[in-house]
Structure formats: structure tokens, C-alpha cells
Amino acid sequence: MAGHMQEVYMTVNGVQFDTQAGRYLLSYGQDKWLRSWRGGNEPGTDMGPDYMAVGSVNFPDHPLKLAQVFRSDGQGLAVVSCENRRVYTVPVALNGHLDPPQEILRSQQYRPLLNITDLMVVKAPSSQDSTVAERTQWLVTAHENNPAAEQPGAVRIWDLSHDAYVHQFRFPDRPVYCIDYDPTSQLLVTATGPRHGNAPQTTIPLYESDPWARLHLLDARDGARQDGQAINTPSKEINLSEFSPCGRYIAAGCIEDTCLIYDCRFTREPVATLRHPRPPSSSSQTGVYSVHWYNSNHIVTGGPDSKVKVWDIGRGSPLLYELDLAGGSIEMIEVYGKFLLPRYDLRVGWVK
């Protein structure tokens, strides 16, 4: 993909396959463009090295920070967060065409709350009024805390159908970095960092007494239950957290070059630790930033060792296959395609 401005000047912040539409992916970055691309072959065949640009939308004021595609009943919607705390929706057609963006959550009271670190679009949990649930889409956002502005770390839920705030989960002294949602259990998983900021009238950072990151399981339906279930981890920072398709496992990509796998029923220790040891010459400090569950047993990860690895977490030695993409840390991957053992027919988009 050569559609974004010269690589030496601009950074592609992310890629995402529009899996329900087939052969399309979206990319977004520092050049202020959201672009859609079409692969040249049918799913399950060799796509080749190149894509053809089929749609683009420019956001002239600020670089794009995050984006996610949500598709329901053939109607696609990309939700885009910009670095100026503005959020937009962009309709995505089945042929990859992008319509003009529409700003959402425009109320001035929302603007200070849109310091977003992660976002996703989900179908609202079922309720007694099933007709409302069927037509309602939620935007779930993660936020860092800002002690100077007296803003807590938080997970906030917004009603996209009515452009309205629903409820939030507050973490007063911790930044919230990432989120995921399991539609079966209707639970959110989020990762919070060490305690952030200084204790009043002292220069001693609070995180010195609590240096570890945590995972939290939250009932998305009930904003009144703020505590949820906390999972202590051996990591100082978690880059991302993802449920397995069955909702039983959580994968946490960590700054220590590992991906920790937790069983939601037994959270005292991880059931597997997947490693991407960086070479001695590497200057990367990101750790594992790329995790994709292919099914509830197989997971694909990318890391600072420039490798994409396929794992079977049910095996004593879980590593099945690795692909060396020499040249830099793998910052993000998206996978689309068939998974046929022992042959791996995967479509992987990555950002290095």
C-alpha cells in the first residue's frame, strides 16, 4: 500500500480488515487520510503483495488516532477518533467506497471527555425492551486519567443511535489503555496502568507503591457496579486486551515482550505466556502490541522481534508457526482468511 504519504515523513497508525465485506481493509494515519483498499483475489486464495485504493476521506485539521469498522445488515460504519478530541462516523459501502464523515458527540460538555486511548463499536446488550436493543449501537471508549484536570481514568459508553452518553466506569488514579467486549457474557475487559500522578503535597509518585498493571472485568449493562473483577498481572504496562471468541480467555499484550493468556474462571495466574524476545540490537520499547484471536484455541501475535507467530494455547508447547518480517517491531496486525492446519492460509496486515 503506497497511498499514504511518504513513509519517512508519515506514520500509518493502523489497519483493519472489513471481514464481513470480504476483500477490503481500511488504513489511517498521521497524513489525515482514512483510506480503503481492495485485494485482488477471492478470500482463501493468495492475495498478492498489492492492494488497490478504492476510497478515501480527508480530515484536514488533525491526524487520525483510532478507527474501527462496524457492519450490520450490510451497512458499514467506520468510527474515527482524531487527535483534537473529535469523533466522526464514516459510512463504508460493500464495495469499499467511503462517504463523507459526520461528526458525533458534538456537545461541548462531551469534548473534555474525548481523550480517547481505545474505542470499539458493539451492539447494545439485550434488555427487556428488545426492540430498542436491536437498533442501538454503543461506542465504548477508554480514557487516561488527568490529575491536573481532575479527570479519572475511565471506560465510557455512548449511544451511537441517539448521540448520547450512557454511563461510565471510573478508575480515579489509573490510566485506562484498552478495551474489549464479549457479546455472550456482556462483559467488558479493560487494562489499567500503574497508579498515575503524585500524592498530594509530595513528590513521591503513587505508582511506586503499586507498579503493576491490572485487567478488569466489567458488566457493560450496569454502570452502578464500578468495581467488577480485578486481575493482578506481572506486567508494568498492558498494551491491549482481547477476549477469545468463546469469552473464556483473555489475551493481554504486555510491554515486557509477552502476551499473557488468562482463563476468566481462574485468574490467579496466566495459563500461558507467549514470548516475542526482542534482539539485543532492537531499540523498540513497545512490547507486544499485536494480538488477534483466530478461534478460541489459536491466536496470532506480533512483537518487537519482527515476527508474526501462530499459537495453540491448548498445547504444552504452544508455538505452531512463525513468520519473520525482518525490519522492525510489529505494531499492529489484522488477520482475515482460512486457518487450515497444518497449512496457514492467513491474510495479515501489519504496521511496523
DSSP string, 324-345: E--SS---EEEEES--BTTB--
The three grid cell numbers given for residue 229, joined into one nine-digit string: 473483577
pLDDT band at 17 (very low <50, low <70, confident <90, very high): low
Residue 349 reports pLDDT greater than 60? no
In whole angstroms, give the CA distance from residue 14 to residue 119: 13
Average pLDDT over residues 214-236: 86
pLDDT band at 204 (very low <50, low <70, confident <90, very high): very low
Residue 276 reports pLDDT greater than 60? yes
In whole angstroms, give the CA distance from residue 158 to residue 70: 15
Q: What percent of the chain has pLDDT over 70?
A: 73
The three grid cell numbers given for residue 325, joined into one nine-digit string: 518480517
The per-residue pLDDT for 36 is 86
Average pLDDT over residues 95-120: 84
Partners of 263 in the β-ladder: 249, 266
Q: Where are the alpha helices (DSSP H) in 77-205?
A: 130-135
CB 309 within 8 A of CB 300: yes
pLDDT band at 180 (very low <50, low <70, confident <90, very high): very high
The three grid cell numbers given for residue 246, joined into one nine-digit string: 468463546
Average pLDDT over residues 277-306: 85
The per-residue pLDDT for 226 is 66
pLDDT band at 179 (very low <50, low <70, confident <90, very high): very high
Of 25-29, 215-219, 331-335, the least confident: 331-335
* Alpha-carbon separation of residue 238 from 126, 141, 172, 245 (angstroms): 30, 16, 18, 20
> What value does the mean pLDDT of the chain take?
78
pLDDT band at 50 (very low <50, low <70, confident <90, very high): low
- Around Cβ 271, how many Cβ atoms within 10 Å? 14
Average pLDDT over residues 77-85: 84
Average pLDDT over residues 183-208: 65
CB 324 within 8 A of CB 311: no
pLDDT band at 29 (very low <50, low <70, confident <90, very high): confident
The three grid cell numbers given for residue 191, joined into one nine-digit string: 487494562
Of 102-111, 152-161, 163-172, the least confident: 102-111
Partners of 290 in the β-ladder: 302
The per-residue pLDDT for 85 is 84
The per-residue pLDDT for 86 is 86
Residue 333 reports pLDDT greater than 70? yes
Tell me, what DSSP letter sits at residue 278?
P
Of 62-76, 102-116, 233-247, 275-289, the least confident: 62-76
Domain definitions of the chain by residue range: 1-104, 110-232, 262-352
Spatial CA neighbour of 207 closest among 192, 190, 228, 218: 192
Which one has a higher pLDDT value, 153 or 17? 153
Of 28-42, 245-259, 260-274, the least confident: 28-42
Which one has a higher pLDDT value, 333 or 196? 333
- Please, is 36 exposed, middle or buried when counting C-beta atoms within 10 Å of its C-beta (0-12, 13-18, 19+)? buried
The per-residue pLDDT for 100 is 92
The SS3 call for residue 148 is: helix
- Around Cβ 228, how many Cβ atoms within 10 Å? 18
pLDDT band at 334 (very low <50, low <70, confident <90, very high): low
The per-residue pLDDT for 250 is 96
